Amino acid sequence: MNQELTIAFIGGGNMASALAAGLIGKRCGAHDVHVIDINQAVLDRWAVQGTTVSQAPDDMLARRRLWILAVKPQYLKEAVMQCRPFLQEDTLVVSIAAGISAETLSSWLGSDDKPFTRIVRCMPNTPALIGAGASGLLALPGVSEDDKTVVQQCMRAVGEVTWVDTDAQIDAVTALSGSGPAYVFLFIEALIQGGIKQGLDEDQARTLALATVTGATQLAALSHESLQILRERVTSKGGTTAAALDVLQSQNFPDIVQQAMLAAYTRAAELSSEFAQ
């Protein structure tokens, strides 16, 4: 564990909690983490874990090397402006906010003649809570290789990591893995409801649905075969799976998923232009 790493979460809600659950104990101790959140009930939940907390930025923030900006995009500029006076030369800023570009953050954190460039945009997801997350990362040019390593090691502590080159690609990561757990949860909910409609009780349907999605995912990850081959192995000619897949294909299931992803991507771009500069 790297005891040198000190972290501040600006915004201590769902995603900050998921990240901290993976980071505390692996990358830092609870006492190395400072949480700033306007909501006292949220802070009370953090304080019992042994982190320091405050409702507004203070000197503790200046003493935290890694800042993780974790408020909703709509509140990010206000939060950044409140935190900016505490920024140090060696502060490394990671923003997990959907849609807000690295360039916009750079202008908020810096001044016209000196934009702040030690910024990494990160798009994580909530399975980070159990160390099974997936994150996309984008570094501004001011980020050193050492800083990139720090961020990469943090995010590796909570799951898979991939670096991308553009804000548009971070929006694509948002549409795929950032929002993706919600699509999968909806699919599992539908499987459970389908099982119940066909006569299973809720516990049975839930157990089978979760085991099916986990098993299929693990098989896909461990197998050397393509997803298409794995799918075809389930699909006996004239059998039950073929009947089900016919319905999914005729309703354009792949297209529906891609339309949903496009809506997420488009919303990220909207947030970007709404809050730019």
Ligand X SMILES: NC(=O)C1=CN([C@@H]2O[C@H](COP(=O)(O)OP(=O)(O)OC[C@H]3O[C@@H](n4cnc5c(N)ncnc54)[C@H](OP(=O)(O)O)[C@@H]3O)[C@@H](O)[C@H]2O)C=CC1
- Binding-site entries: 10-15, 70-73
DSSP 26: T
DSSP 84: G
Residues facing residue 135 across a β-bridge: 161
Within a 10 A sphere around the Cβ of 84, how many other Cβ atoms?
A: 14
Q: Does 122 bind ligand A1CAB (CB under 6 A)?
A: no
The single residue among 101, 104, 174, 272 that binds ligand A1CAB, judged by CB under 6 A, is: 174
| Contact partners, residue 9, CB within 8 Å, separation at least 6 | 16, 19, 20, 33, 34, 35, 36, 37, 68, 70
Distance (Å, whole) CA 254 – CA 172: 17
Q: Does 79 bind ligand X (CB under 6 A)?
A: yes
Residue with tokens 């040198």: 4
- Amino acid, res. 49: Q
Q: Does 98 bind ligand A1CAB (CB under 6 A)?
A: yes
Angle at 22 between CA 18 and CA 26, to 5 degrees: 155
Distance (Å, whole) CA 142 – CA 265: 26
The single residue among 52, 66, 67, 73 that binds ligand X, judged by CB under 6 A, is: 73
Q: Does 52 bind ligand A1CAB (CB under 6 A)?
A: no
Of 47-55, 165-173, 174-182, 201-209, the segment contacting ligand A1CAB by CB under 6 A is 174-182
Strand locations in 97-215, DSSP E? 119-123, 133-139, 159-163
Q: Does 47 bind ligand X (CB under 6 A)?
A: no
How many of the chain's residues bind ligand X (CB under 6 A)? 28
Q: Does 96 bind ligand X (CB under 6 A)?
A: yes
Residues 134-173 that bind ligand X (CB under 6 A): none
Q: Does 179 bind ligand A1CAB (CB under 6 A)?
A: yes
**Which residues sit in the known binding site for NADP(+)?**
10-15, 70-73
Shorter beta-carbon distance to ligand X: residue 6 or 179: 179
Contacts with ligand A1CAB, residue ranges (CB under 6 A): 98, 174, 178-179
Query: Which positions lie near ligand X, rule CB under 6 A?
Result: 10-16, 36-39, 42, 70-73, 75, 78-79, 82, 96-98, 123-126, 178
